[in-house]
Structure 1
C-alpha cells in the first residue's frame, strides 16, 4: 500500500473530514498547518461565489506558511463535492476547484467518471466515500483514486458495517489509498486503523469541539458532554442514515427513540427546506467520549500525535515478541 506523494507532508496519517456548515477556511487552514489534511464541503461556501474567495484564502495562507516554515510544510487540503442530483451547484463548484487546482476532491453520494477525469486533468486526486464493498468497486471502476470507508459509528451519513469487515473486504482487491471513518478520535484509534489495513484515519466529530470550527457554542459543549450512547442513528433528516446527537433531537421537540422513517425525497443540500434540520439537528460520531474540552486544532492534533506515538511504542515489543 502506498500513498501519492502529496501525502508525504502529513505529520499524522489523518484527514480532517468535511463537516457540513462547520468546516470553513479557519478550520481547514489550522488543520493543514497542524500537519493533517483539512477539508470542507463546497456547499458550505454560500453563495457559490464565496467558494472562490475561500479557495483563494486557503491557498494564499498555506503558501505563506510554507515559505515561513520550510521544515514544516502544511499538509494538502481537500474539497468535498456532493454528487447527488439534488446538488445543482456541482458544475460551478468543480469549475472553481479547477481554477485553484484543489489537490484533493472528496466525492460523496454518487460516483462520476467525468468528474474524476476532470480532477485528474488539473493534477488532483479523488477520494470517494463508500459504506460497503459494492459501492467501493463502483467508485474505482469510475476512476476514483482512493476510497474512504465510512463504517458504523461515523458522524453524519454513516454505514452499518464494522470497520474490520469493511476494510478487509476492500483490501482483498484494492491496494490504493484507503481511509477509514468511524469513531476515530484518538491516536490509538489512528494506529488501529492502519493496523487493520487503512492508510489514513478520517476524523470529523472531534474537530467540532475546536475554537476554529464554525459551530454554535452549545453544539461544541454538547460534543464535550456526550458519549457514544448519546448518538442516534436515523434517516429522518436527509433520507440517508446518519448519526446525530440525542440532545439536539430532543431540543427540536422530537423523541430520539421513536423517530419516523425518512426517504430520499427529504434529501436537500441546497439550503432551503433542509436547512433548518441541518442547523438544529447536530451530527456526531460515536468516538466523542474522549473529547473533554473545547480547544484549538493544534492542541487536538498534538494530543492525537502523542497518543499515536505512545501506542506505537507500547505495541512495538509485543509485535517483536
Structure 2
C-alpha cells in the first residue's frame, strides 16, 4: 500500500469527505485536530479570497492541537471540470495556504498535477470506474478515491469489493474507498480489501460542527439505507440523496443525464440545500461532536481488529 509521511499523523486511516454545503472550517479543523484528514470543496467558500481566509483559520486552529501532537492534513476538493471559472484562483489559494492534499473531481486533473506536485501536495482523484482510474493514473495522480455504490452525493455504481480489488491490481499508489463506510468495522474492511484509507461523509453530516441545518442532520439520523435514492436531477451526474428531500424537488430542475455532459459548476452551485447522503445512514444513529465521533470510530476500529484476530486464532486452533 502506498502511504505518505502524513498518514503517520492519522489517529485512524480515514478522510472526513468533502461535502457541498456541509463541510466548513469548524468541521474540517475539528477533524484535523481529532486525527483524520479534514476535507472540504473549495466552492463551499463564496470566493477564492474567502477560501484563503478559511485555510488561514483552519491552519491556525490546527496549530493549537496540543503539545507534541501534529494535526492531520487539510484536503481541498477542486472541481476540475472546464466550467469551473474559479479553478485557477482556487488553485493559487491552495498553493499559498499550505494545503497538503488535493482531491480532484469531475474531469481530468492533468493540468494541475504539476503545480501541486511542485509544492509537495498529494493529489487524489475521484473515480467511478476502472477507465476513470486509468485516466487519473496516466495524469500523474498519487491516489484514487473509489466512488462505489452507496456513496453519498456524487456516487458510483460499482461493488466496493470488486472495485477495490480491481483498482489495487491496476495501481500501487494510494487507494481510498468511498461508499457505505459508517463505522470502525467498515474502516477495517476497507483496509483488508487493500485500501489505504476510508472516506466517510454521511457520518460527518450528523456532527455538531457540520454546516448542515438541524432538519437535514435529523433526516440523516432517522434514515435507513432504504431511504436513499439515486438521482441525476441535482447536477446531471448520479448522486445519492435522502428520498425525503427528493420528494419535494421539482422534476424540471434536472436533466436525464448521467455523464459529465450534463454537469456544470454553475448548475452544481445553483442547487443549494441538497440533502445528500449515502447508504451509511443506516450506521448513523445520533448527532455527535466531531471529536467524539472520531474517538468512537477509533474504538470501533480497535474492537473490529480484536474480533478479527480472535476469529483467526480460533481458525488456527481448529485447523
Query: Corresponding residue for 1:224?
Result: 221
Alignment of 1:97-246 (within 5 A): 97-246=94-243
TM-score, structure 1 as length reference:
0.93
Change (3 A) 1:62 1:161: same
1:269 equivalent in alignment to 2:262:
no
1:278 equivalent in alignment to 2:272:
yes
Instruction: Output one character per residue of 1:152-179: Cα deviation in whole Å (capped at 9) or x when no partner.
Output: 0000111100011111111112111111
Q: 1:49 aligns to what SS in structure 2?
A: helix
> Are 1:237 and 1:266, in contact at CA under 8 Å, matched by a contact in 2?
no
Q: 1:238 aligns to what SS in structure 2?
A: coil
Change (3 A) 1:260 1:144: closer
> Are 1:232 and 1:245, in contact at CA under 8 Å, matched by a contact in 2?
yes
> Are 2:48 and 2:93, in contact at CA under 8 Å, matched by a contact in 1?
no
> Are 1:266 and 1:274, in contact at CA under 8 Å, matched by a contact in 2?
no
1:308 equivalent in alignment to 2:301:
yes
Structure 1 unaligned blocks of 5 or more: none
Query: Corresponding residue for 1:93?
Result: 90
How far apart, CA to CA, are the structure 2 residues paired with 1:274 and 1:97?
21
> Are 1:151 and 1:162, in contact at CA under 8 Å, matched by a contact in 2?
yes
How far does residue 254 in structure 1 lie from its aligned partner after superposition?
5.6
How far apart, CA to CA, are the structure 2 residues paired with 1:19 and 1:41?
6
Instruction: Output one character per residue of 1:230-252: Cα deviation in whole Å (capped at 9) or x when no partner.
Output: 00011121110010100111233
How far apart, CA to CA, are the structure 1 residues paired with 2:111 and 2:12?
31
How far apart, CA to CA, are the structure 2 residues paired with 1:213 and 1:38?
12
How far does residue 229 in structure 1 lie from its aligned partner after superposition?
0.3
> Are 1:62 and 1:74, in contact at CA under 8 Å, matched by a contact in 2?
yes
How far does residue 261 in structure 1 lie from its aligned partner after superposition?
2.2
Change (3 A) 1:274 1:110: closer
> Are 1:18 and 1:80, in contact at CA under 8 Å, matched by a contact in 2?
yes
Q: 2:177 aligns to what SS in structure 1?
A: strand
Structure 2 unaligned blocks of 5 or more: none
Query: Corresponding residue for 1:69?
Result: 67
How far apart, CA to CA, are the structure 2 residues paired with 1:153 and 1:42?
24
How far apart, CA to CA, are the structure 2 residues paired with 1:233 and 1:55?
32
Q: 2:298 aligns to what SS in structure 1?
A: helix
How far apart, CA to CA, are the structure 2 residues paired with 1:34 and 1:176?
25
